[in-house]
Amino acid sequence: MSLFTDISTEMILGVLPLFVTIDLGATKELLGLMEGAADSLNYAFRSFAGVISDRIASRKPLVIVGYALSTIAKPFFSVTSNFVEALAVRLTDRAGKGIRTSPRDALISDSVKEAVSGRAFGLHRSLDQLGAIIGPFWLSFSYPSSGSEICFSYHSSQGRSQ
């Protein structure tokens, strides 16, 4: 799941600044505010999700909710018509990332023997990095002919296939 989420995230991040500033007419300062707020929300949710995950001793539901929130949110960029709507979508996406990250890492740790935990986390990070490579690569071929719509429609189709 992480690979496909990273592919779609990196495709969107490749065009998000242009989409927000050119298509939606927001200033660069507002774009910076959007990204700062998104990162802050992500890290705040990581802390809370980690504590909740430890207290309820169940990691999978939070991981699923986090991935679902991001998967559902991103296609809404295609119907945003102003900065506030784009901000709401971006914050929702990053909240999903924050909700899933700590429980997912704990789930990986809980799922393998300590002796091979480095391999498990290495595999996860490798898939993350592969997604970070494939997303912009795919975008570089699809964007010139279809614009930002391809990013949003691809992500929507990936969400349905999982």
User: Tokens in use for 32?
Assistant: 């910076």
In the chain, the number of structural domains is 1
Average pLDDT score over residue span 28-56: 95
CATH number at residue 134: 1.20.1250.20
Average pLDDT score over residue span 67-81: 93
Give pLDDT tens digits for 56-71. 988 999 999 999 999 9
- Tell me the pLDDT of the chain averaged across its residues: 87
Report whether pLDDT(159) > 80: no
- Greater model confidence, 13 or 97: 97
- Greater model confidence, 157 or 129: 129
User: What is the extent of the structural domain holding 23?
Assistant: 2-161
CB 89 within 8 A of CB 77: yes
The tokens 């490579």 sit on which residue? 133
Instruction: Look up residue 148 and give its amino acid.
Output: S
Helix, strand, coil shares, percent, the chain, to 5: 90, 0, 10
Residue 162 has what pLDDT? 38
pLDDT band at 7 (very low <50, low <70, confident <90, very high): confident
